[in-house]
A and B are shown apart, each in its own frame.
Chain A
Amino acid sequence: MRIKYWLPGAILLLGIAGCGNKTAWTAQETATLQSLSLTSLPSVNDPSNRFAHNPQAVELGKQLFFDPRFSRNGQIACATCHRPEKAFSDGKMVAEGLAMGTRNTPSLLGATHNDWFFWDGRKDSLWSQALEPLENPAEHGLTRLEIVRLLLKDLHYRQQYHALLTDIPAPEHFAALPDTASPVGTLAQLQTWKSIPQAQREQLDQLFAATGKFIAAYVSSLPLAPNRLDDALTGKATPTPAEMAGARLFTGKAQCILCHSGAMLSNQAFQNIGTGTFGKDSGRAAVLDTIRNDRFNCQGQYSDTTPETCTELQFLTRSRHSMSGAFKVPGLRNVAQTAPYFHDGRMATLDSVIDYYVKTSQQPNKDNDLPAIQLTDTEQQDLIAFLKML
């Protein structure tokens, strides 16, 4: 059905190109831009989450996403940093939960299409990603045991968990356990966790993993609205001369499309653009072992798929050297609504981002993956005009 909507626009643009209008995109340019449109977006398939498309799980996940009780101070929900009115980001330099974080909050719109999660990609599924902030002392700051207790004691949640999981323990099942326990908490919390019988630890992990899957089901359901580029390619919007010129730069001279490709405008890879901090934050390189050993990864016992289907994890690079200073290439949909930019939010505006790329890429003896990028002031403004279409 979608082909009916973009074809007229594409043909119109091609027709304009054939009339010798130098401001119109050529057929080849249009075809390239089409690769960035929603019509090129593949369907989502996460076999590690059997609840990904379950309407009950979506509804439950939404309740969990907005519930601030899942935090140490009762005031932090997923939605605290992933705010719907800001394309599910927060507009802050770095995330602020119970304490200041170290990474910029990414938009969740379209996140379900990612291969890897967090700026360093230390999680390989949306559901596994959703778990970590709950136990992060700087974000929600609860322990795994507290989270599961809260879920089981709340009648509304317990009924929904029971409906989806069919067999969940009664709240009394964990009554004899200490107040807090987590395998990723403080030393005391870790020691307490290890004192819990293995069968109960696995029950806790099972319920904890399911919580992530429900939240992921909700996040996966968030609609990705067409942007102005999608509209231009379907004939519903007319791009300005600056936007058209910016599109040519994006796909040509500025070389943005090398990394920001596909309908999500990300090649799902990790690149070094010179923003890593030596000795402090080496990005992807620091988490390669973490990913393999994560009990909630695609090949783990709480995944709903078979290990051989976890292709990204199976062929994860082992070269720390090659990944040093590399961060995930972010998708650029809604980029104008998700300032500030880069993994640590160091750039406040798109102007400063483009300026950074131009200057950094031309540095002698540069230690990053950037090709040389040369743009005039006018070209930089045209490129920004195009970015605002996204």
Chain B
Amino acid sequence: MSTKLLTLMLGLLMAGCSSSANTVWRLDQTSSSGRYQATLTCATPPIVMAFQDCTLTLTSPQALPSDLLIAVDGGMPAHGHGLPTAPQAVPTHNPGEFRIDGLKYSMLGEWILGFLLHSAASDDKIVFRFTL
């Protein structure tokens, strides 16, 4: 039996189990104060044991504070542990866009990913909830 035929057979057998082939994964959320609309966009759906390629984009009817700092945190509420790494939100050249570096998940299950938005004028937060 050729490898091609074997692969075809396996593909047919597995077809019912596989999810759709998303190339971009996106979540939208409003900040706690309602001031910001946030979009989390990733190059792939989240997976465990690999660094994620994600971007946070903030929009607001008002201009974003020039001194805005963003801290990233998260974890699994059901297990009581946090993220395995300490990711950072790094501003890109695009206004309101932040590259999320160093983001990793350690296991399947329900996760929260939070962003604390700090500026001299106000503090705010955005919390995404999702299941791997």
**Residues of chain A having any CB pair with chain B under 8 Å:** 3-4, 7-8, 10-11, 14, 18, 27-28, 31, 257-259, 261-262, 267-272, 311-312, 314-319, 322, 368-371
For the complex with contacts A7-B10, A11-B6, A317-B84, 4 further pairs of A-B residues with Cβ separation under 8 Å are A268-B49, A271-B106, A315-B88, A315-B104
Q: Are A314 and B10 in contact (CB under 8 A)?
A: no
Does B43 sit within 8 A of A, measured CB to CB? no
- A8 near B6 with CB under 8 A, answer yes
Q: Name the one of A261, A314, A322 contacting B81, with C-beta atoms under 8 angstroms.
A: A322
Give per-residue flags for B17-28: 1 if the beta carbon is below 8 A from chain A beta carbons, else 0: 100000000000
Q: Are B82 and A31 in contact (CB under 8 A)?
A: no
In the assembled complex, which residues on chain A have CB atoms less than 8 Å from the CB atom of B1? 8
Given A11-B13, A31-B14, are A315 and B102 also a contact pair (CB < 8 Å)? yes
Q: How far is the CB of A110 from chain B (nearest CB, A)?
A: 15
* Closest Cβ–Cβ distance, residue B131 to chain A (whole Å): 13
Provided the pairs A31-B14, A261-B48, A314-B102 are in contact, do residues A7 and B85 lie with their beta carbons within 8 angstroms? no
- Decide yes or no: A270 and B107 within 8 Å by CB, A14-B10, A28-B17 being known contacts: no
Tell me whether B14 and A322 are in contact (CB under 8 A): no
Work out how many contacts link A and B, with CB atoms closer than 8 A. Answer: 83
Contact between chains at A14 and B3 (CB < 8 Å): no
Majority SS of interface residues in chain B? Answer: loop
Residue B61, interface by CB 8 Å:
no
- Of the four ranges (under 10, 10 to 19, 20 to 34, 35 or more), the interface on chain B belongs to 20 to 34
Shortest Cβ-Cβ A-B pairs, 7 listed: A315-B102, A269-B106, A315-B85, A258-B107, A7-B6, A269-B84, A369-B81
A311-B102, A315-B101, A316-B86 as given contacts; A271 in contact with B81, CB under 8 Å:
yes
**CB of B7, distance to nearest CB on chain A (Å):** 7
CA gap between A319 and B81 in the complex, in Å? 11
Tell me if A317 and B107 are in contact (CB < 8 A). Answer: no
User: Roughly how many angstroms separate A3 CA and B107 CA in the complex, as a whole number?
Assistant: 26
Q: Nearest CB to that of A312 among chain B residues?
A: B85
Beta-carbon contacts under 8 Å, B77-122 to A? 78-88, 101-102, 104, 106-109
B9 CB–A CB distance under 8 Å: yes
